Structure 1
Protein backbone atom coordinates (compact mmCIF):
# COMPACT_ATOMS: atom_id res chain seq x y z
CA UNK A 1 0.00 0.00 0.00
CA UNK A 2 1.33 3.42 -0.97
CA UNK A 3 1.12 5.80 1.98
CA UNK A 4 -0.03 9.40 1.69
CA UNK A 5 3.02 10.67 3.56
CA UNK A 6 5.52 9.47 0.94
CA UNK A 7 4.99 11.52 -2.23
CA UNK A 8 6.46 14.19 -4.46
CA UNK A 9 4.65 17.53 -4.17
CA UNK A 10 5.17 19.68 -7.26
CA UNK A 11 4.30 23.06 -8.69
CA UNK A 12 4.78 24.62 -12.12
CA UNK A 13 5.03 28.27 -13.06
CA UNK A 14 4.06 28.71 -16.70
CA UNK A 15 3.65 31.20 -19.53
CA UNK A 16 -0.14 30.79 -19.46
CA UNK A 17 -3.03 28.50 -18.71
CA UNK A 18 -2.78 25.68 -21.23
CA UNK A 19 -0.14 23.79 -23.19
CA UNK A 20 -2.83 23.33 -25.85
CA UNK A 21 -2.56 27.09 -26.46
CA UNK A 22 1.22 26.90 -26.86
CA UNK A 23 2.05 27.72 -23.26
CA UNK A 24 5.18 26.24 -21.68
CA UNK A 25 6.60 25.74 -18.21
CA UNK A 26 9.11 28.32 -16.97
CA UNK A 27 9.83 26.90 -13.51
CA UNK A 28 9.39 23.61 -11.69
CA UNK A 29 9.61 23.18 -7.95
CA UNK A 30 9.12 19.93 -6.04
CA UNK A 31 9.47 18.49 -2.56
CA UNK A 32 10.03 14.78 -1.95
CA UNK A 33 8.42 13.45 1.24
CA UNK A 34 9.27 10.10 2.83
CA UNK A 35 7.30 9.22 5.96
CA UNK A 36 6.24 12.85 6.15
CA UNK A 37 9.77 14.25 6.14
CA UNK A 38 11.37 16.31 3.37
CA UNK A 39 14.26 14.25 2.00
CA UNK A 40 14.95 16.12 -1.26
CA UNK A 41 13.90 19.14 -3.31
CA UNK A 42 14.05 20.12 -6.98
CA UNK A 43 13.91 23.65 -8.35
CA UNK A 44 14.85 24.97 -11.76
CA UNK A 45 13.96 27.84 -14.04
CA UNK A 46 13.63 26.86 -17.70
CA UNK A 47 13.74 28.81 -20.93
CA UNK A 48 10.54 28.23 -22.95
CA UNK A 49 12.14 29.51 -26.15
CA UNK A 50 10.13 32.73 -26.33
CA UNK A 51 9.56 35.86 -24.26
CA UNK A 52 7.02 35.70 -21.47
CA UNK A 53 4.38 38.40 -21.12
CA UNK A 54 4.72 41.35 -18.77
CA UNK A 55 1.69 39.97 -16.90
CA UNK A 56 3.47 36.68 -16.17
CA UNK A 57 6.62 38.58 -15.18
CA UNK A 58 4.58 40.56 -12.67
CA UNK A 59 2.53 37.59 -11.46
CA UNK A 60 5.44 35.23 -10.85
CA UNK A 61 8.38 37.58 -10.42
CA UNK A 62 10.15 35.51 -13.10
CA UNK A 63 11.54 37.88 -15.71
CA UNK A 64 12.77 37.38 -19.24
CA UNK A 65 16.25 38.35 -18.02
CA UNK A 66 16.13 35.49 -15.48
CA UNK A 67 15.03 33.03 -18.16
CA UNK A 68 17.51 34.12 -20.82
CA UNK A 69 20.35 31.96 -19.52
CA UNK A 70 18.18 29.21 -18.00
CA UNK A 71 18.41 25.68 -19.43
CA UNK A 72 15.76 24.57 -21.90
CA UNK A 73 12.49 22.98 -20.83
CA UNK A 74 13.60 19.72 -22.44
CA UNK A 75 16.86 19.61 -20.46
CA UNK A 76 15.14 20.32 -17.14
CA UNK A 77 12.24 17.94 -17.68
CA UNK A 78 14.56 15.06 -18.54
CA UNK A 79 16.17 15.59 -15.12
CA UNK A 80 12.80 15.97 -13.40
CA UNK A 81 11.54 12.70 -14.87
CA UNK A 82 14.29 10.97 -12.91
CA UNK A 83 13.38 12.88 -9.72
CA UNK A 84 9.75 11.66 -9.78
CA UNK A 85 10.42 8.13 -11.04
CA UNK A 86 8.25 5.65 -9.15
CA UNK A 87 6.66 8.32 -6.94
CA UNK A 88 3.04 9.32 -6.43
CA UNK A 89 2.46 13.02 -7.10
CA UNK A 90 0.56 15.81 -5.37
CA UNK A 91 -0.23 19.32 -6.58
CA UNK A 92 -2.62 22.10 -5.58
CA UNK A 93 -5.15 22.26 -8.42
CA UNK A 94 -3.50 19.17 -9.83
CA UNK A 95 -5.34 19.18 -13.15
CA UNK A 96 -3.36 22.31 -14.12
CA UNK A 97 0.04 20.93 -13.15
CA UNK A 98 -0.72 17.51 -14.63
CA UNK A 99 -1.47 19.06 -18.03
CA UNK A 100 1.91 20.76 -18.11
CA UNK A 101 3.78 17.77 -16.67
CA UNK A 102 2.27 15.44 -19.27
CA UNK A 103 2.98 17.87 -22.12
CA UNK A 104 6.55 18.67 -21.11
CA UNK A 105 7.47 15.03 -20.47
CA UNK A 106 5.95 13.96 -23.78
CA UNK A 107 8.28 16.40 -25.53
CA UNK A 108 11.29 14.49 -24.15
CA UNK A 109 9.74 11.04 -24.63
CA UNK A 110 9.51 10.53 -20.86
CA UNK A 111 6.69 9.44 -18.58
CA UNK A 112 5.94 8.71 -14.93
CA UNK A 113 4.44 5.65 -13.30
CA UNK A 114 2.91 7.24 -10.19
CA UNK A 115 -0.59 8.63 -9.73
CA UNK A 116 -1.82 12.15 -8.99
CA UNK A 117 -3.78 13.55 -6.06
CA UNK A 118 -5.06 17.10 -5.72
CA UNK A 119 -4.52 18.86 -2.39
CA UNK A 120 -7.15 21.46 -3.33
CA UNK A 121 -9.86 18.82 -3.76
CA UNK A 122 -8.84 17.03 -0.55
CA UNK A 123 -8.87 20.34 1.33
CA UNK A 124 -12.40 21.10 0.14
CA UNK A 125 -13.52 17.97 1.99
CA UNK A 126 -11.31 18.09 5.08
CA UNK A 127 -11.23 21.88 5.61
CA UNK A 128 -14.85 22.72 4.87
CA UNK A 129 -14.72 25.74 7.20
CA UNK A 130 -11.95 27.43 5.20
CA UNK A 131 -13.00 30.74 3.57
CA UNK A 132 -11.46 29.59 0.28
CA UNK A 133 -9.19 26.83 -0.95
CA UNK A 134 -6.66 28.89 -2.84
CA UNK A 135 -3.20 27.96 -1.59
CA UNK A 136 -2.41 31.38 -0.12
CA UNK A 137 -5.75 31.53 1.71
CA UNK A 138 -5.27 28.03 3.14
CA UNK A 139 -1.73 28.88 4.27
CA UNK A 140 -3.12 31.82 6.25
CA UNK A 141 -6.19 29.91 7.49
CA UNK A 142 -4.12 26.95 8.73
CA UNK A 143 -1.32 29.26 9.94
CA UNK A 144 1.28 27.40 7.90
CA UNK A 145 4.82 28.73 8.23
CA UNK A 146 5.90 30.55 5.07
CA UNK A 147 8.31 33.22 3.90
CA UNK A 148 5.63 35.30 2.20
CA UNK A 149 6.69 34.23 -1.30
CA UNK A 150 3.85 33.01 -3.54
CA UNK A 151 3.80 32.05 -7.23
CA UNK A 152 7.36 30.75 -7.22
CA UNK A 153 7.44 27.03 -7.81
CA UNK A 154 9.51 25.72 -4.90
CA UNK A 155 7.88 28.01 -2.33
CA UNK A 156 4.41 26.92 -3.47
CA UNK A 157 5.46 23.25 -3.47
CA UNK A 158 6.84 23.59 0.06
CA UNK A 159 3.62 25.19 1.32
CA UNK A 160 1.51 22.57 -0.46
CA UNK A 161 3.60 19.83 1.17
CA UNK A 162 2.98 21.35 4.61
CA UNK A 163 -0.76 21.59 3.88
CA UNK A 164 -0.78 17.99 2.64
CA UNK A 165 0.88 16.70 5.80
CA UNK A 166 -1.53 18.69 7.99
CA UNK A 167 -4.39 16.87 6.26
CA UNK A 168 -2.66 13.49 6.63
CA UNK A 169 -2.12 14.22 10.32
CA UNK A 170 -5.76 15.28 10.64
CA UNK A 171 -6.84 11.87 9.36
CA UNK A 172 -4.50 10.19 11.83
CA UNK A 173 -6.06 12.18 14.66
CA UNK A 174 -9.44 10.86 13.49
CA UNK A 175 -8.25 7.28 13.95
CA UNK A 176 -6.87 6.42 10.51
CA UNK A 177 -3.40 5.36 11.57
CA UNK A 178 -1.77 5.16 8.14
CA UNK A 179 -3.74 7.12 5.53
CA UNK A 180 -3.08 5.71 2.09
CA UNK A 181 -2.51 7.70 -1.07
CA UNK A 182 -5.57 5.98 -2.55
CA UNK A 183 -7.69 7.24 0.37
CA UNK A 184 -6.57 10.82 -0.27
CA UNK A 185 -7.54 10.42 -3.92
CA UNK A 186 -10.92 9.03 -2.86
CA UNK A 187 -11.51 11.90 -0.43
CA UNK A 188 -10.96 14.37 -3.25
CA UNK A 189 -13.59 12.64 -5.37
CA UNK A 190 -16.21 12.18 -2.62
CA UNK A 191 -19.16 14.53 -2.18
CA UNK A 192 -19.37 16.69 0.95
CA UNK A 193 -22.45 14.81 2.09
CA UNK A 194 -20.68 11.45 1.90
CA UNK A 195 -17.31 12.37 3.40
CA UNK A 196 -18.18 11.50 7.02
CA UNK A 197 -19.41 8.07 5.97
CA UNK A 198 -16.22 7.47 3.99
CA UNK A 199 -13.99 8.42 6.91
CA UNK A 200 -16.06 6.35 9.34
CA UNK A 201 -15.60 3.32 7.12
CA UNK A 202 -11.83 3.85 7.37
CA UNK A 203 -11.90 3.86 11.16
CA UNK A 204 -12.28 7.58 11.70
Structure 2
Protein backbone atom coordinates (compact mmCIF):
# COMPACT_ATOMS: atom_id res chain seq x y z
CA UNK A 1 0.00 0.00 0.00
CA UNK A 2 1.25 3.47 -0.91
CA UNK A 3 0.71 6.72 0.96
CA UNK A 4 0.08 9.65 -1.37
CA UNK A 5 2.09 11.98 0.87
CA UNK A 6 4.94 11.39 3.36
CA UNK A 7 4.10 10.39 6.92
CA UNK A 8 6.49 10.60 9.89
CA UNK A 9 5.98 7.87 12.49
CA UNK A 10 7.23 9.04 15.88
CA UNK A 11 7.84 7.32 19.20
CA UNK A 12 9.07 8.86 22.45
CA UNK A 13 10.42 7.07 25.48
CA UNK A 14 9.89 9.19 28.58
CA UNK A 15 10.61 9.41 32.30
CA UNK A 16 6.90 9.53 33.15
CA UNK A 17 3.40 9.25 31.75
CA UNK A 18 2.64 12.95 31.33
CA UNK A 19 4.58 16.19 30.85
CA UNK A 20 1.99 17.83 33.12
CA UNK A 21 3.30 15.63 35.94
CA UNK A 22 6.97 16.31 35.26
CA UNK A 23 7.62 13.62 32.66
CA UNK A 24 10.40 14.38 30.17
CA UNK A 25 11.55 12.74 26.96
CA UNK A 26 14.51 10.36 27.13
CA UNK A 27 14.61 8.97 23.59
CA UNK A 28 12.96 9.63 20.24
CA UNK A 29 12.68 7.90 16.89
CA UNK A 30 11.06 9.54 13.86
CA UNK A 31 10.76 7.46 10.68
CA UNK A 32 9.70 9.04 7.39
CA UNK A 33 7.45 6.82 5.27
CA UNK A 34 7.31 7.72 1.58
CA UNK A 35 5.01 5.61 -0.55
CA UNK A 36 5.14 2.35 1.36
CA UNK A 37 8.72 2.39 2.65
CA UNK A 38 10.76 3.98 5.43
CA UNK A 39 13.24 6.21 3.59
CA UNK A 40 14.76 8.33 6.37
CA UNK A 41 14.99 8.37 10.14
CA UNK A 42 16.01 10.51 13.09
CA UNK A 43 16.90 8.60 16.28
CA UNK A 44 18.49 9.90 19.47
CA UNK A 45 18.68 9.48 23.21
CA UNK A 46 17.90 12.74 25.00
CA UNK A 47 19.34 14.32 28.13
CA UNK A 48 16.48 16.26 29.70
CA UNK A 49 18.24 16.68 33.07
CA UNK A 50 15.84 14.31 34.77
CA UNK A 51 16.25 11.27 36.99
CA UNK A 52 15.24 7.99 35.35
CA UNK A 53 12.94 5.98 37.65
CA UNK A 54 13.95 2.39 38.26
CA UNK A 55 10.76 1.01 36.72
CA UNK A 56 11.44 2.96 33.51
CA UNK A 57 14.89 1.39 33.26
CA UNK A 58 13.34 -2.02 33.86
CA UNK A 59 10.74 -1.39 31.13
CA UNK A 60 12.91 0.25 28.47
CA UNK A 61 16.49 -0.63 29.30
CA UNK A 62 17.36 3.08 29.24
CA UNK A 63 19.67 3.86 32.16
CA UNK A 64 20.64 7.06 33.90
CA UNK A 65 24.15 6.76 32.49
CA UNK A 66 22.80 6.50 28.94
CA UNK A 67 20.78 9.72 29.11
CA UNK A 68 23.49 11.59 31.04
CA UNK A 69 25.81 11.05 28.05
CA UNK A 70 23.11 11.90 25.48
CA UNK A 71 22.76 15.23 23.64
CA UNK A 72 20.56 17.75 25.46
CA UNK A 73 16.90 18.32 24.63
CA UNK A 74 17.83 21.83 23.47
CA UNK A 75 19.85 20.20 20.67
CA UNK A 76 17.63 17.23 19.82
CA UNK A 77 14.22 18.92 19.70
CA UNK A 78 15.10 21.58 17.08
CA UNK A 79 16.59 18.85 14.89
CA UNK A 80 13.51 16.69 15.39
CA UNK A 81 11.05 19.47 14.55
CA UNK A 82 13.07 20.28 11.43
CA UNK A 83 13.10 16.60 10.44
CA UNK A 84 9.31 16.30 10.77
CA UNK A 85 8.74 19.50 8.81
CA UNK A 86 5.25 19.82 7.35
CA UNK A 87 4.61 16.10 6.85
CA UNK A 88 1.75 14.32 8.60
CA UNK A 89 2.70 12.91 12.00
CA UNK A 90 1.72 9.42 13.18
CA UNK A 91 2.14 7.46 16.41
CA UNK A 92 0.69 4.50 18.26
CA UNK A 93 -1.43 6.26 20.91
CA UNK A 94 -0.67 9.57 19.22
CA UNK A 95 -2.08 11.82 21.95
CA UNK A 96 0.76 10.67 24.24
CA UNK A 97 3.56 11.37 21.77
CA UNK A 98 2.13 14.63 20.43
CA UNK A 99 1.62 15.92 23.97
CA UNK A 100 5.30 15.36 24.76
CA UNK A 101 6.38 16.83 21.41
CA UNK A 102 4.39 20.00 22.03
CA UNK A 103 5.46 20.30 25.68
CA UNK A 104 9.16 19.92 24.87
CA UNK A 105 8.84 22.29 21.90
CA UNK A 106 7.08 24.86 24.07
CA UNK A 107 9.98 24.81 26.52
CA UNK A 108 12.29 25.88 23.71
CA UNK A 109 9.97 28.24 21.87
CA UNK A 110 9.65 25.88 18.89
CA UNK A 111 6.63 25.71 16.60
CA UNK A 112 6.07 22.24 15.11
CA UNK A 113 4.35 22.52 11.72
CA UNK A 114 3.28 18.92 11.04
CA UNK A 115 0.21 18.40 8.88
CA UNK A 116 -2.14 16.75 11.36
CA UNK A 117 -1.79 13.57 13.42
CA UNK A 118 -2.70 9.93 12.70
CA UNK A 119 -3.20 7.56 15.63
CA UNK A 120 -2.58 3.92 14.71
CA UNK A 121 -4.40 2.77 17.88
CA UNK A 122 -7.57 4.56 16.77
CA UNK A 123 -7.13 3.27 13.22
CA UNK A 124 -6.82 -0.31 14.43
CA UNK A 125 -9.92 0.06 16.62
CA UNK A 126 -11.93 1.29 13.65
CA UNK A 127 -10.63 -1.10 11.00
CA UNK A 128 -10.33 -4.16 13.27
CA UNK A 129 -13.00 -3.62 15.94
CA UNK A 130 -13.56 -6.10 18.73
CA UNK A 131 -9.97 -7.25 19.33
CA UNK A 132 -8.98 -8.15 22.88
CA UNK A 133 -6.08 -5.67 22.94
CA UNK A 134 -4.70 -2.82 20.86
CA UNK A 135 -1.34 -2.61 22.62
CA UNK A 136 1.44 -2.31 20.06
CA UNK A 137 3.25 -5.59 20.70
CA UNK A 138 0.31 -8.01 20.87
CA UNK A 139 -1.57 -6.23 18.06
CA UNK A 140 1.43 -6.32 15.74
CA UNK A 141 2.15 -9.96 16.61
CA UNK A 142 -1.43 -10.92 15.72
CA UNK A 143 -0.72 -9.57 12.22
CA UNK A 144 2.62 -11.29 11.86
CA UNK A 145 4.71 -8.17 12.54
CA UNK A 146 7.77 -8.79 14.69
CA UNK A 147 10.16 -6.50 16.56
CA UNK A 148 13.68 -6.27 15.12
CA UNK A 149 14.98 -4.65 18.31
CA UNK A 150 13.87 -4.35 21.91
CA UNK A 151 10.26 -3.42 22.62
CA UNK A 152 9.87 -0.12 24.50
CA UNK A 153 12.86 1.37 22.70
CA UNK A 154 11.88 4.23 20.43
CA UNK A 155 13.29 3.00 17.12
CA UNK A 156 11.99 -0.57 17.46
CA UNK A 157 8.54 0.67 18.50
CA UNK A 158 8.41 3.17 15.63
CA UNK A 159 9.39 0.51 13.10
CA UNK A 160 6.66 -1.85 14.29
CA UNK A 161 4.09 0.98 14.41
CA UNK A 162 5.03 1.93 10.83
CA UNK A 163 4.54 -1.65 9.64
CA UNK A 164 1.23 -1.81 11.51
CA UNK A 165 -0.08 1.39 9.94
CA UNK A 166 0.90 0.18 6.47
CA UNK A 167 -0.89 -3.10 7.21
CA UNK A 168 -4.03 -1.20 8.19
CA UNK A 169 -3.81 0.92 5.04
CA UNK A 170 -3.41 -2.26 2.97
CA UNK A 171 -6.56 -3.68 4.57
CA UNK A 172 -8.46 -0.53 3.60
CA UNK A 173 -7.17 -0.90 0.06
CA UNK A 174 -8.37 -4.49 -0.17
CA UNK A 175 -11.80 -3.74 1.31
CA UNK A 176 -12.60 -0.56 -0.58
CA UNK A 177 -10.46 -0.60 -3.72
CA UNK A 178 -7.84 2.02 -2.84
CA UNK A 179 -4.49 1.76 -4.62
CA UNK A 180 -3.04 4.60 -2.55
CA UNK A 181 -4.23 6.53 0.48
CA UNK A 182 -3.98 10.19 1.44
CA UNK A 183 -2.85 10.53 5.08
CA UNK A 184 -5.69 12.97 5.66
CA UNK A 185 -8.17 10.17 4.98
CA UNK A 186 -6.63 8.25 7.91
CA UNK A 187 -7.03 11.36 10.07
CA UNK A 188 -10.70 11.51 9.07
CA UNK A 189 -11.17 7.84 9.99
CA UNK A 190 -9.63 8.56 13.41
CA UNK A 191 -12.49 10.96 14.12
CA UNK A 192 -15.29 8.48 13.36
CA UNK A 193 -16.96 5.81 15.44
CA UNK A 194 -16.09 2.32 14.17
CA UNK A 195 -19.66 1.61 13.05
CA UNK A 196 -19.62 4.66 10.76
CA UNK A 197 -16.35 3.86 9.01
CA UNK A 198 -17.65 1.43 6.31
CA UNK A 199 -20.35 3.80 5.03
CA UNK A 200 -17.95 6.75 5.14
CA UNK A 201 -15.30 4.92 3.12
CA UNK A 202 -17.78 3.60 0.56
CA UNK A 203 -19.00 7.12 -0.10
CA UNK A 204 -15.44 8.50 -0.15
CA UNK A 205 -14.31 5.82 -2.59
CA UNK A 206 -17.35 6.42 -4.77
CA UNK A 207 -16.40 10.09 -5.02
CA UNK A 208 -12.88 9.08 -6.08
CA UNK A 209 -14.27 6.73 -8.71
CA UNK A 210 -16.50 9.53 -10.00
CA UNK A 211 -13.62 11.99 -10.15
CA UNK A 212 -11.54 9.51 -12.17
CA UNK A 213 -14.39 8.28 -14.35
CA UNK A 214 -14.47 8.65 -18.10
CA UNK A 215 -16.93 11.27 -19.44
CA UNK A 216 -20.52 10.10 -19.21
CA UNK A 217 -21.11 9.90 -23.01
CA UNK A 218 -18.42 7.20 -23.28
CA UNK A 219 -20.23 4.89 -20.86
CA UNK A 220 -22.22 2.08 -22.42
CA UNK A 221 -25.68 3.06 -21.21
CA UNK A 222 -27.60 3.05 -24.53
CA UNK A 223 -27.71 6.84 -24.44
CA UNK A 224 -29.35 7.06 -21.01
CA UNK A 225 -27.53 9.18 -18.43
CA UNK A 226 -30.32 10.33 -16.10
CA UNK A 227 -32.66 8.37 -13.83
CA UNK A 228 -35.75 9.19 -11.79
CA UNK A 229 -35.94 7.68 -8.30
CA UNK A 230 -39.32 6.12 -7.46
CA UNK A 231 -39.81 8.92 -4.90
CA UNK A 232 -39.30 11.57 -7.59
CA UNK A 233 -35.66 12.65 -7.35
CA UNK A 234 -33.56 13.01 -10.51
CA UNK A 235 -30.09 11.47 -10.56
CA UNK A 236 -27.30 11.55 -13.13
CA UNK A 237 -25.31 8.41 -13.88
CA UNK A 238 -21.59 9.01 -13.39
CA UNK A 239 -20.18 5.59 -14.15
CA UNK A 240 -20.44 1.87 -13.70
CA UNK A 241 -17.44 0.31 -11.99
CA UNK A 242 -16.24 -3.05 -10.80
CA UNK A 243 -14.19 -2.90 -7.62
CA UNK A 244 -12.22 -5.56 -5.75
CA UNK A 245 -14.31 -4.90 -2.69
CA UNK A 246 -17.46 -5.81 -0.87
CA UNK A 247 -19.67 -3.50 -2.95
CA UNK A 248 -18.81 -4.48 -6.51
CA UNK A 249 -20.00 -4.05 -9.16
CA UNK A 250 -21.37 -0.61 -8.37
CA UNK A 251 -23.31 2.23 -9.90
CA UNK A 252 -21.97 5.69 -9.09
CA UNK A 253 -24.46 8.51 -9.45
CA UNK A 254 -24.86 12.21 -8.63
CA UNK A 255 -27.91 13.79 -7.00
CA UNK A 256 -29.36 17.20 -7.85
CA UNK A 257 -27.33 18.88 -5.10
CA UNK A 258 -24.06 17.53 -6.51
CA UNK A 259 -23.43 14.87 -3.86
CA UNK A 260 -22.02 11.53 -5.02
CA UNK A 261 -23.68 8.22 -4.15
CA UNK A 262 -22.95 4.58 -4.85
CA UNK A 263 -25.13 1.48 -4.76
CA UNK A 264 -24.62 -2.14 -5.75
CA UNK A 265 -25.77 -2.54 -9.34
CA UNK A 266 -28.35 -5.14 -8.29
CA UNK A 267 -29.92 -2.69 -5.83
CA UNK A 268 -29.88 0.23 -8.26
CA UNK A 269 -31.94 -1.68 -10.83
CA UNK A 270 -34.13 -3.75 -8.50
CA UNK A 271 -37.95 -3.86 -8.56
CA UNK A 272 -39.88 -2.76 -5.47
CA UNK A 273 -43.37 -3.65 -4.29
CA UNK A 274 -45.19 -0.33 -3.73
CA UNK A 275 -48.92 -0.47 -2.87
CA UNK A 276 -49.18 -3.89 -4.46
CA UNK A 277 -47.52 -2.85 -7.71
CA UNK A 278 -44.01 -3.48 -9.00
CA UNK A 279 -41.99 -0.27 -9.35
CA UNK A 280 -38.39 0.19 -10.47
CA UNK A 281 -36.20 1.86 -7.85
CA UNK A 282 -34.63 3.98 -10.63
CA UNK A 283 -36.36 4.53 -13.97
CA UNK A 284 -34.31 5.66 -17.00
CA UNK A 285 -35.28 9.09 -18.36
CA UNK A 286 -35.27 9.08 -22.15
CA UNK A 287 -33.47 12.16 -23.42
TM-score range, shorter chain: over 0.9
Question: 1:5 deviation in Å?
Answer: 5.8
Instruction: Tell me, yes or no, if the aligned pair for 2:8 and 2:30 is still in contact at 8 Å.
Output: yes
Question: 1:129 deviation in Å?
Answer: 4.7
What residue is the counterpart of 1:162 in the other structure? 163
Question: 1:148 deviation in Å?
Answer: 5.5
Report whether the alignment pairs 1:104 with 2:101.
no
User: TM-score normalised to the size of structure 1?
Assistant: 0.94
Question: 1:108 deviation in Å?
Answer: 1.9
CA deviation profile, 1:133-167 (whole Å, cap 9, x unmatched):
11011111111132262100010000000001111
Question: 1:18 deviation in Å?
Answer: 0.9
Question: 1:11 deviation in Å?
Answer: 0.3
Counterparts of 1:45 and 1:145, CA distance in 2: 23
Instruction: Tell me, yes or no, if the aligned pair for 1:5 and 1:165 is still in contact at 8 Å.
Output: no
Count of aligned pairs: 202
Counterparts of 1:76 and 1:66, CA distance in 2: 15
What residue is the counterpart of 1:43 in the other structure? 43
CA deviation profile, 1:108-152 (whole Å, cap 9, x unmatched):
221222211101000001122532111011111111132262100
Report whether the alignment pairs 1:200 with 2:195.
no
Instruction: Tell me, yes or no, if the aligned pair for 1:4 and 1:179 is still in contact at 8 Å.
Output: yes
Instruction: Give me the CA root mean square deviation.
Output: 1.5
What residue is the counterpart of 1:140 in the other structure? 141
Which of the numbers 179, 182, 188 marks the counterpart of 2:181? 179
Instruction: Tell me, yes or no, if the aligned pair for 2:127 and 2:194 is still in contact at 8 Å.
Output: no
The 3-state SS of whatever aligns with 2:33 is strand
User: TM-score normalised to the size of structure 2?
Assistant: 0.67
Which structure has more helix as a fraction of its residues? 1
**Unaligned segments of structure 2, at least 5 residues:** 206-244, 246-287
**Whose Rg is larger?**
2
Which of the numbers 190, 206, 224 marks the counterpart of 1:188? 190
Does 55-64 or 3-12 show the bigger shift? 3-12
Counterparts of 1:148 and 1:81, CA distance in 2: 25
Which structure has more strand as a fraction of its residues? 2
What residue is the counterpart of 1:126 in the other structure? 127
**Unaligned segments of structure 1, at least 5 residues:** none
Report whether the alignment pairs 1:153 with 2:158.
no
Q: Which gives a bigger RCO, structure 1 or 2 (Cα 8 Å, sep 6+)?
A: 1
